[in-house]
A and B are shown apart, each in its own frame.
Chain A
Amino acid sequence: MNTKNTLSAERARKTVMSVVLTLVCVIYMLPVLSVVVNSFKGNTYVKTETFSLPDEDSYVGFDNFEKGMTFGNYPFWKSVAYSAFITIVSTALILLFTSMAAWYIARVNSVVCKLIYYLCVFSMVVPFQMVMFTLSKTADTLHLNTPWTIPIVYLGFGAGLSIFMFVGFVKSIPIEIEEAASIDGCGPIRTYFRIVFPMLKPTMISVGILEIMWIWNDYLLPYLVLDINEFRTIPIHIQYLKGSYGTVDLGATMALILLSIIPVIVFYLICQKYIIKGVAAGAVKG
């Protein structure tokens, strides 16, 4: 066998693999496509003709989306707004406060710092079910049970992973830069915001993405903490519709599911590079 033959055989093999993988990808996307297709069908057709395209009988245009807006006697835009608010504010709080704390912990490194650090690492292996009952009662007692205050609960329960990641990164930054700033007359606050904070950017992005993905999709914590008659995030709203709302309008539910995954997919396509990097970095979490 000469080299030329092996090379072209190799190329042919790669083309075949490419085609096979394309087919697998199309199959992989079918669940999402079926959501799109079914969100344009009437309720009764979703269950009986799940896999056919909408036809004259089953096609209902944008009716499902219109119906979905007030489905379950709760305006959908409110769920979107609460989800967005809670996700953005919680992530911002977590990024700001845990990075400050991580810098302090890594640099001061006293007994108290070590204690906090190890408690944070420990909290990463504690499943939510362990604390869910007592946490929701504590949140009630302290009036943290509204969308405006629940970010504090997220800051507390989510601190572990981000402290862990930030401390790891701060330890890799040479301390000389900060010492130079200090000799030039910078106090700790200026040193942090002018020198350290900009250097933390890559970890900020990784942690930020992990927190956004977690909080946006989180169901149980807000369900237990918030008063769900008044405040429903998107996952709570969808679970409520399917779980306890008598006979479900499947078409309208699919329309809402589609509306709720569109922002996720857009966000993913825009920040893909960072998301994949962040996920690889956060894989240490058990």
Chain B
Amino acid sequence: MKAPMRRWSWLFIGPVVVAFIIGFVWPFIQGIYLSFCKFRLISDAKIIGFDNYSKALQDPTFTHAFWYTALFAIVSLIIINIIAFLIAYLLTQGIKGSNLFRTVFFMPNLIGGIVLGYIWSMIFDGILSKFGTSILENSTWGFWGLIILMCWQQIGYMMIIYIAGLQAVPEDMLEAAKIDGATKGQTLRKVIIPNVMPSITICTFLSLTNGFKLFDQNLALTAGKPIITMAGGTQIKTTEMLALNIYNTFYGQNSSATGVAQAKAVMFFILVAAIGLIQLYYTRRKEVQQ
């Protein structure tokens, strides 16, 4: 079969290879190259070594966005996973209407980030306007607003993964625990949680990467506002996350900063890829053990 297949390779893998080079491989290689260059147009790029990287690391908006994003990712990770696990646990107890509840909780996940952002900005402004303020005027509101939005969107998704994990817990183990007189809490801690560990790993990393890569929701809800001006005159968008910071560096007013923006993008890639690889390592290891 292999030999006749090879004759048709242009048809089977040709289209994907061409599109993959256009849509990923070439832009990726060019992106790495340009992060070491000074350029306005790609055609007149000049290699300048690590200058872009040191400039990016000295950029206070970038470091602010990094810590802000990290904090956001960790807080949203904890809240989303605890609530999602709790709901999944309740929905696997044979409560009436579980399927309907599952449908409702998952629904927000299908709404796109931009639309989600505007739905919630209407709601938050509806509440905050009663107090004469707005989500764009207070960075603490902006932070928790985005957390609430993310919870609303992601809990249903994580819940689905947890439900799948919980349903795979062997029935005889649960029965054995019951016969041995284990309380519900003990069963949860000693039997259920160890058995759904793979789901917990997946969900933890998923919400971590989702938090780090967040863009649409951030843009639509606050777009980085409110802005504060530092002593040196640099303006920091207090609720701007990494992805939005990179976007603003690329397409902002300072058109000579494209090289710096690309360097930021490479560092962002390394960060996200590292999280992904650690995840792969953990899930692979768990699979071997089972």
Contacts and interface: CB of A to CB of B under 8 A. Distances in A.
Given A127-B272, A132-B250, A189-B11, A154 B23 contact: yes
A116 B220 contact: no
Interface string A206-243: 00000001001111100000000000001100110011
A182 B5 CA distance: 11
Contact of A126 (B28, B119, B127, B219): B28
Contacts of A175: 1
B73 interface: no
Given A25-B104, A126-B28, A130-B28, A50 B97 contact: no
A162 B69 CA distance: 29
Contacts of A126: 24, 28, 269, 272-273
Nearest to A113: B13
A49 B123 CA distance: 10
A48 B160 contact: no
B112 A31 contact: no
A28 B25 contact: no
Given A134-B27, A134-B30, A127 B22 contact: no
B22 A284 contact: no
User: Interface SS of chain B: helix, strand, loop or mixed?
Assistant: helix
Interface residues of B, number: 95
B111 to A, nearest CB: 6
Contacts of B131: none
B93 interface: yes
Given A129-B246, A253-B118, A108 B6 contact: yes
A286 B229 CA distance: 36
A254 B9 CA distance: 50
B51 interface: no
A21 B220 CA distance: 30
A170 interface: no
B24 to A, nearest CB: 5
A41 to B, nearest CB: 11
A85 interface: no
Interface residues of A, number: 102
28 contacts: A18-B96, A21-B95, A22-B101, A28-B104, A31-B108, A32-B119, A34-B122, A48-B129, A100-B16, A105-B13, A113-B13, A123-B24, A126-B269, A130-B31, A131-B28, A133-B31, A153-B23, A156-B23, A157-B24, A159-B24, A163-B16, A182-B4, A219-B112, A220-B215, A257-B115, A257-B119, A279-B161, A286-B206
B275 interface: yes
B24 A257 contact: no
B168 to A, nearest CB: 11
Nearest to A285: B206
A220 B94 CA distance: 42
Contacts of A21: 90-91, 95, 97, 101
Nearest to B156: A28
Contact of A188 (B1, B27, B109, B223): B1
